[in-house]
Structure formats: C-alpha cells, structure tokens
Structure 1
C-alpha cells in the first residue's frame, strides 16, 4: 500500500523559532512541555485515563485544550500540573486549584534567567449532558432500532481560515473558536522557502470553491534547501491532527500526528465520507532523487481513518506518516479510489467506511476512538515523490454518521 503524503522539510532551527532562546548561563526557555489534571476520582471525571494529560506539547502551542470531561463534572476547582522547561517558573502556582467554569485560565511561564516569558491558556470543560450515548440506549451507534437511512453529519466547509498568528507567513484552518482541528505541512515549507508569500505555500485558501471558500493543495518545489536534504517536493496537504515541528529533524514522518487532539475524538460511528474535488496532475513526475519517471502520472489522495486512540499500555495514541494506513489500531477506512485528472469542474465523491470489525459500544461512548481526515496533492508525498504543480481542490466535505 502506498504511504500517504508528508510535507516536512528538515527544520534545522526549529527550536530557536518556537522556544525562548538566548545564549546565557541560566536557562532561557519558557515552555510548557506536559500538562495533567489530578483528581481523587478519575473514573468519574474522565472518559478514559489518557484524557487526564496532554503529553509532549508542541512548542508552538499556547492554547492547551483538554478532552471534555464527563457530564456534570465540577470544573470550578481543578488542580492542573505542568512540566516546564528546566528552571522555569509558572504562575498561578503549579498544581494550584483553579476555576475553569467561566472559560480558560491563563498561565505565565517565566524562564530561569527571568528574561523571557510565555502566556498560555488552558481550557477544561465538561461534556454537555445528553450528547454522549450510553451503551445499549436507543440511538447508540449501530442500534438496530434506528432506521438505516437516518444519519447525522459533521460538515467541513473550510470557510474559517487565517494567517498563522505566530508568523503571519502561511494559512491555517480551524472549525473551532479556540484551538485548531486542522493541520498542514506549511510550517516545514516555511523553513525551506522562508521568502515565500502566503499564497505561494503548498496549502492555501481557494477563494471560489464549490460553495464559498475551499482549499487549494499544490505540490511545490522546495528549492535548493530541498536538494541539500533530499526532500525536493512538498505535497500540499490538509489533515485533522497536529504538525509537530520538534520531530521533523529526527524523523519527518513522525511529525504528522493524524487524528491527535481532543477535537478528533469521536463517540459516533462514521458511515460515509463525501465532498467535492478537482484534480490536475503536474506535468513531470520525479522520484526522490529528482530523476524523471517516464510515463508516471501523479495522483492525489482523499481518505478518512477511524482508530483506537489508546494503546495497549493505556497511553494516548495517534497515527503518523508511516502508519496512517497500516496501523493495527485502525478499525475503519474510507478512501476515495483513483484521485486522477478531472474534467468539467467539480466532481462529487462519496465512499463508505470499511470496518474491520464492530466498534465496542463502551469504548465508543467514552471517546476511545478518533478520526483523521486527510487530503494531499501527491499520493507519494511521504516518499518525496510526485509532480510539481499537481493540484487538488477540496470543498464541502462531510462525514455521515450514526449515533
């Protein structure tokens, strides 16, 4: 099976761009690296134990969003603990009880040398009562008493996009007011071509989509930098999850965290992935070494995967570029076949999820599964193979599901 795309150039100076850095004897970094909630009755508060912590926090994130707690959980007096960079201090005090009922609580981390600080917002809320079905109740996913044609929908219209707040160099997308459920490899392209304008990045807004704004994904040349690191192309991409620049220098495929984050946890059974697309392959297909592959025509890729988001040790789990289609944690896949050249404007796609087995109702009710939705302009982008100029346009995507 062909691996999915991965954009990711080697980020040689990522730590200097995403952390507080200065050459002095005392530590000058001021990052939160990990956060967790500690309560006496975790089974009554969290849907699953792994929801109590946010491990390995990406250094560019300043909004920390915990998965929703169980309905009626008291969020007015919760102690949150943090692992900060060596020597740094945090205010309010680490582990102090805070009230999250009225919105996020602001924390300030100050470096050991006292010269730098970063402000974080921590979001914690309880799930609204009635939104999470209990196993066996009418309306549960797979309930035989519910008509087969009766579905609910998650809709992605891509209207909410804006320039990255930290750099103003490239676009990002989100379906939520706080935080983001979508990610791209644009941060890596910024390292390869720092002089590029926002509309020259691989993933950009499309002003006139099928209905309103859409997304334009273009396989792009990474220039001299890409030649040096043998990553000559950057496939345009958009996926639900997180791009982790800290991993990019060591293992590029590990930098794409498909389905990571509380926004991507689900308590419903996805049935169909649908939407609209156009695809135009680039003129010349090249392999990773830059050699032209005769008679090879590029393709795009559109798919969604459902997977178990906790591993055998009870730790949080997400998919990465090297296992997003092959991990044994995957329980369902919906993949559009043959995303090849289209003619005559927008084309509709609709493909059902293929399940390897039945979902566990108890796990589902406890948000024990996550979903990743993925689009890329070059199907072999993970191997840095494809055709510069390959273009995938996407709009009005939906997931039909049963509750």
Structure 2
C-alpha cells in the first residue's frame, strides 16, 4: 500500500499538484488581513490516510504569501513523507472568502498520467493564525482504485522562535554500556560502546534518555525502549520551535582501543661515558620527541644537556601512570651549510610530542623525523582522553622554521596545547618488507612537514586546542570525514599530542606542560 502511495504522490507533485484554486472576480480586498494575520511561515503536521488506514503524522512547514488583494499563495518546500522527499508543491492564487473570522479557499484538479488517474479536491481554512488544508484524492493506479486523504494543520510562527534542534545530552542507564555515548554533531550520529560480554539479547530493549533544545520536540521520545541488537540503528528527529528539523542516527559502535599508559614502558639512550641519561619509551605503537632531544644532547652537549620532553608521571587520572609532555628551552644554535651537507639549526623551543607512529631522525629536515600513523584496518569515529595543561611563562615566536634558533619573545601570546587525530590513505605499507628497495619511493607517511597540507591523502581529521586547564578534563574529539572510507584501501591512523600547538614551527613557551591519560579510540 505504501509503495502505491509513494508512486501516487510522486506523480501528483511532478504535475504541479495545486494549480487550480477557486476564482472570484468580485472578491473583496483582504490585503491588510493577509499581510498582518496570514502571511508568514507555519509549523505543523501532515497526516495521510489510505483506504481508512492512517499513517503516523509527519512534521511539515508551509509558507503563505500574498498573491493579490484577496488571494494567497501557499507553498510546501521540500515536501516529504515517511522520509521520502517529493519536492516543492504550491497552492497558487487561491481566492479567499470570509465567514466571520474564518477565511476559506478551495482547489480542484484532474490528472491522468500513464497508469494514474485521479481527482483532487482541496479545501483550506485560515483563522486565528492557524491553517488547515484537507485534500481528498480519488485515484486509480493500474486499475486499482484508492481513496487517499491528506490533512495539513499548522500554526503561524512569529519569527522569534528558536531554530535550534539538537540532542544536547544522551544516556543509557545500563550496566552493559561502557562510557558515555558520543554525540557527533557534524556527522549527525550518536554512538555508544557496550561490554565485550554483551549479546544481542542484551540490546533488544535499551532505554535511552536524553535532553533536547529548549521548546523543541523529538520523535521517538526520551525514555522509550529501543532495539539496538544485530547492528540496528534508531533515528531520532528533533524539531525546533520554528519547525527546523535535525536527525540523529544512534547505534552501537563496533570496536574500541584503549591506552592507559600503565605498562609497556622501556628506557633507551643511556650512554654512561658521555653522561647522557636514558629516556622513556612508550610501547604499543607510540613514539615521542625524546629521540630528537637525545640527538641534540649527544651531538651538542655544550648547547643543551637538560631533561627530556616526554615523561612518565604518577599524576594520573586513573591507575598509577599518565604522560607529561613538556616544552623545552633547548637553547638554540645556528645551522651549518657545508655545501655537500647541511647541519640544521638546533631550536630554541622544542615541544613535547607523543604520537602513534615512529621517530626516524632526518638531520636534513627535522620535521620529517616524525612519521605519523600506524597501519589501521577500521573506520575511526572519535577519540576520548583526559588532559590538563599549564602554559609556560614566556612565549617565543619563530618566524622562519628553517632558522629554528632565531626567536623573539612575544609578550602578547600565551601557549596552547594541541591534539590531532588523522586517518590518511597510503598506497603501500612500507613495513611489509623492510628490505624492499621501493620503501623510500612508496613511503607516503605524513610528517611534521605536511600533516595539515597533504589534502590528497587525508581522509578524516579532528583537531583540539586548549589553554590553561588546571584539573583533569575529559574530551571527545570527533573525526570529520573529508573523503569516503573504503575498506579495500590502505590507511594509517595517528593521534598526536603536543605541549605547544605551534611546536612544529618551533614556537611556544618553555615549561608548558600537557598531561594526558586514558586514551580511547572508538571505531565502527
């Protein structure tokens, strides 16, 4: 029945549904009433009944405009039914007649298109800022007769109504739900994780409760049981006070990967005879800027012989271990051009950096040393983490990163930390065969030199920056997809923490400290 109904509506609307309204050459002048009491936008509902069966009402907006001293135009933009968009339809030049404070209009149309023939009788009333339109349709589709009734009822908007249609908070009170559901406004999704031991029977009757924008409405309602088993999705439609709609698709996210930084640490770089202490190395695919600072200490002990930028700390949000990232004053020293070989400058400012990937020292271009991203075989949605941040006192600006030793003190700036999550495409995983001579040619890993500029490779990215944050705060960083995800392609995924957001330009405030803990990567 619905299929026939959709076919019927598509044909009717494509033939200009409302083109014949009643006409009255001697109609009185209602200009003032039209302009002051009728013209404007209306918010209401559309209800369709087919052969006595009434479908659920759908939200619908209409617009009424003055067409003449005694006539109006009534339009339904983006007319849709049951999620199917039909298009724009109109009642044009509809002449009004008055009975007390009620104004009426009518329209009739006969259509015969291919297998469809129908007679449409439309009549409407406007009174006290409310409009009602009734359409009786006697249709014959392929020899099958159908009686269709369409009713629209709406009220005139004042123009001061809110246009916000959001789900502002979402929860599911169930012991099997892990963490707080994630609202992704950009994508229009709400995802939540469940315990690994949860089975489909546990997901057939979950009860979401949520908050929405003031004066908005939502369907389905908060507190109603929903079935999320077997990958099922539930769509919530929020309607703002002015009729604006926003849809959210809610579903169980597939997989999570958690880094608590509690274990998997080793130490490297200890050289007793040169007085060089070891540095901390987090495992599980992580790399740090410690390697670069170790190289400075090893090569230029007369320039810098201080601590490392990435350290374990017991100042944790959960468990016993978190990670401190510290921006260092590595003093700075001009580079040397030997003609056949260039020794780069030693930076005045070196930020603490923790990232998924590897650090492979490139003495010719230090920014290329950070090889971001590890092979990834899922579609990441977001990351969650806890952080706190203390900016350093003196901010140094480096105008030319090729001269990283040359900085100026900028009293107008306060340092900020940054977090970036990025999924990007590569043609080849060079680690498949370390001895393959094509590794260099096919190495398309993003680095500190092109992380934000390689738009041909970046599939999804999310960035976060923050100033001072004295206490631990939880952050959900959603990825914005720039390209369609294709499971047949090769991807690398990186999460990059930095104690100075412009550290890749060798700018920042020594002493800036970013502490991070409890990172979770959420993927479909």
TM-score normalised over the length of structure 2: 0.43
Written as runs of structure 1 = structure 2, the 5 A alignment for 1:110-125 is none
* 8 Å Cα contact 1:254-1:320 kept in structure 2: yes
In 2, Cα distance between the equivalents of 1:239 and 1:390? Answer: 18
* Residue 377 of structure 1 pairs with residue 493 of structure 2: no
The offset of 1:221, in angstroms, is: 0.9
Contact 2:231 2:252 in 1 (8 A): no
CA distance in 1, matches of 2:232, 2:486: 18
Aligned residue number for residue 265 of structure 2 = 161
SS of aligned partner of 2:295: helix
Shift of 1:310: 1.5
Q: 2:388 aligns with which of 272, 275, 278?
A: 278
Which of 411, 421, 426 is 1:304 aligned to?
421
1:251 to 361, 365, 368: 365
- Distance change (3 Å), C-alpha of 1:173 and 1:146: farther
CA contact (8 A) 1:303 1:334 kept: yes
Kindly indicate whether the alpha-carbon contact (under 8 Å) linking 1:161 and 1:173 is maintained by their aligned counterparts in 2. yes
CA shift, 1:145, in A, is: 4.6
C-alpha distance in 1 between matches for 2:252 and 2:469: 30
Name the counterpart of 1:231.
347
Equivalent of 1:315 in 432, 439, 442: 442
Whether the 8 Å contact between 1:299 and 1:339 is mirrored in structure 2 is: yes
Where does structure 2 lack aligned partners over 5 or more consecutive residues? 1-229, 234-250, 272-276, 337-344, 399-405, 429-437
Partners of 2:443 and 2:356 in 1: how far apart?
Answer: 16
**1:332 maps to 2:332:** no
- SS of alignment partner, residue 316 of structure 2: coil
Contact 1:309–1:370 under 8 Å retained in 2: yes
Separation in 2 of the partners of 1:187 and 1:371?
Answer: 21
Task: Give ranges in structure 1 of 5+ residues lacking alignment.
Answer: 1-143, 176-180
Q: In the TM superposition, what whole-angstrom CA distance separates every residue of 1:19-65 from its partner, at most 9, and x where no partner exists?
A: xxxxxxxxxxxxxxxxxxxxxxxxxxxxxxxxxxxxxxxxxxxxxxx
2:329 equivalent in structure 1: 221
Which entry has the higher C-alpha Rg, 1 or 2?
2
Query: Structure 1 residues 165 and 382, CA, compared in 2 at 3 Å: closer, same or farther?
Result: closer
- Which residue of 2 is the match for residue 207 of structure 1? 314
Instruction: Specify whether residues 273 and 219 from structure 1 end up closer, same or farther in structure 2 by C-alpha distance, changes over 3 A only.
Output: same
1:291 aligns with 2:408: yes
The whole-number CA distance in structure 1 between the counterparts of 2:366 and 2:395 is: 22
Cα gap change, 1:291/1:165 in structure 2, threshold over 3 Å: closer, same or farther? Answer: closer
SS of the residue corresponding to residue 466 of structure 2 reads coil
Provide the rounded CA distance (Å) in 2 between the counterparts of 1:182 and 1:301.
17
Aligned partners of 2:331 and 2:347 also within 8 Å = no
Per-residue deviation at 1:227?
A: 9.2
Contact 1:309 1:318 in 2 (8 A): yes
CA drift of 1:304 comes to: 0.9
Q: For the Cα contact (< 8 Å) 2:309–2:328, is it kept in 1? A: yes
Contact 2:261 2:282 in 1 (8 A): yes
Give 1:165 shift.
Answer: 6.3
Q: How many angstroms apart in 2 are the aligned matches of 1:197 and 1:252?
A: 17
Q: Identify the residue that residue 347 of structure 1 maps to in structure 2.
A: 473
DSSP 3-state at the match of 1:322: coil
Q: Given the alignment of the two structures, is residue 191 of structure 1 paired with residue 295 of structure 2, yes or no?
A: yes
Q: Deviations over 1:340-381 (max 9, x none)?
A: 1113x1000002110012211322xxxx11101100001111
- Per chain length, whose mean CA-contact separation is higher, i.e. which structure has more relative contact order (CA < 8 Å, sep 6+)? 1
The answer on 1:387 being equivalent to 2:504 is no
Secondary structure at the counterpart of residue 446 of structure 2? coil
State the alpha-carbon separation in 2 of the partners of residues 231 and 198 from structure 1.
14
Contact 1:183–1:240 (CA<8 Å) still a contact in 2? Answer: yes
Asked whether the 8 Å contact 1:226–1:232 carries over to 2, the reply is no
Q: Greater strand share, 1 or 2?
A: 2
SS in 2 for 1:386: coil
Determine the C-alpha separation between the residues in 2 that align with 1:210 and 1:283. 25
